Structure 1
Amino acid sequence: MSTMRHYWSQNPLFKNSLISDTMPRTRFELLLKMWHFSNNETCPEGDRIYKVEPLIKIFVNKCQEVYVPGEIVCIDETLIPFRGRLLIKQYIPNKTHKGFTWNMKLYAGKERDPNISVPTKTVMFLAEKLLNAGRTIITDNYYTSLELANQLLNQKTHLLGTLRSNRRGNPKEVVNKKIKSWRNYCERKWSRYLHWEVAGQA
């Protein structure tokens, strides 16, 4: 409903006895105000998702109980509409929420790891329970790298994705290779088709 209080409204348009008969609105609002998932006193310094991490684990476990991914799995960012104030909030206008969420890693700000790139670390974390089963992981150009491909191959998993030419670790043969643009290819084919159509009509 448009507002939380509508769930306790006596208006026939909004009336929902299932909720209003279970708990008074004031009681619910009080519980919501005091709602915590972890102890603030044990929160590690700098851990921005510590308070909601137990809830995230419960959610992910439930998702994995009801669905087993097939041979092809996509790993990508997804957005949740939010207009409030939040330090770790991001704005990516072209991203949409699609598909079934099987695993997730909440963005909590920039990460650094001297041993492995963050994109590779993220994919390996999300795909941990899906490895060594002959699956194919699909990623976009932020995640795709030779480093990730080798790590997945070592665990009997393939990688499919667009590779940035300036990605660290790319072989020189790949960087220097002149690849024909798919768009230019389609435009040439379409131009020939139109020429053939005009010639045929003449």
Structure 2
Amino acid sequence: MTTNQWEELKQFLHFNDSQEASDKDDPERDRLYKVRPLLDHLVAKCRELPKLQNLWVDEQLVPFKGRSSLKQCLPNKPQKWGYKLFLLWDECGLMHNFEVYTGKILPQPGFPDIGASGNIVLRMGSVIPRDLNYILYFDNWFCSVHCR
């Protein structure tokens, strides 16, 4: 595909109506508004996958070198710059839930507020059935007294 073909495709490819987007100065706006339907569909499909007993909550960096207000720097990762994701995955590497980091981590309605890292564990683990014996692992960034 040539550059011109790609640019023409990008011009007509939309996942959400740009006219309904909130103002860029609004602190409550969804920074992923333009791709939110696509992300929601991907998350819904990931949640339908059968889960194995051992599950992990972890952060992942999708490398990106361009300009973006969502780009994060994680100095302890091999690729230092990119989009930060929080994932729930199993021992086979299948992803069952994910969330793109867009800034400050706020508590979600229906979940207790136990700090930024604890809130992520609760949201990622919310797709795990409660009546079955799953084992959830997470690293030291997610550990707090409330998470244990």
TM over 0.5: yes
**Gaps spanning 5+ residues in structure 1: where?**
7-24, 150-202
Give, in angstroms, the shift of residue 68 of structure 1.
Answer: 1.6
Q: Relative contact order, CA 8 A, sep 6+: which one is greater?
A: 2
Indicate which of 69, 76, 81 corresponds to 2:58: 76
1:40 corresponds in structure 2 to 18
**Gaps spanning 5+ residues in structure 2: where?**
80-88
Q: Percent identity?
A: 31
After superposition, the C-alpha distances for 1:113-152 in whole angstroms (9 at most, x for unaligned) are 4943121221111111204122111111111122123xxx
Query: Aligned partners of 2:114, 2:97: CA distance in 1, in Å?
Result: 21
1:61 corresponds in structure 2 to 44
- Pairs within 5 Å for 1:150-169: none
Question: Which runs of at least 4 in structure 1 moved beyond 4 Å after TM superposition?
Answer: none
Q: Rg larger in 1 or in 2? A: 1
Indicate which of 5, 28, 31 corresponds to 2:2: 5
- Pairs within 5 Å for 1:59-138: 59-65=42-48, 67-95=49-77, 99-113=93-107, 115-132=113-130, 133-138=132-137
Query: Aligned partners of 1:128, 1:47: CA distance in 2, in Å?
Result: 22
Give the structure with the larger strand fraction.
2
After superposition, the C-alpha distances for 1:23-51 in whole angstroms (9 at most, x for unaligned) are xx74x642322322112233343321122
After superposition, the C-alpha distances for 1:1-20 in whole angstroms (9 at most, x for unaligned) are xxx429xxxxxxxxxxxxxx
Aligned residues: 126
TM normalised by structure 2 equals: 0.70
Q: Is the 8 A contact 1:77 1:95 kept in 2?
A: no
Opposite residue 41 of structure 1, the aligned amino acid is Q
2:86 corresponds in structure 1 to none
Q: Is the 8 A contact 1:37 1:52 kept in 2?
A: yes
Q: Is the 8 A contact 1:76 1:140 kept in 2?
A: yes
Opposite residue 140 of structure 2, the aligned amino acid is N
Give the structure with the larger helix fraction.
1
Query: Aligned partners of 2:76, 2:137: CA distance in 1, in Å?
Result: 18
Opposite residue 61 of structure 2, the aligned amino acid is L
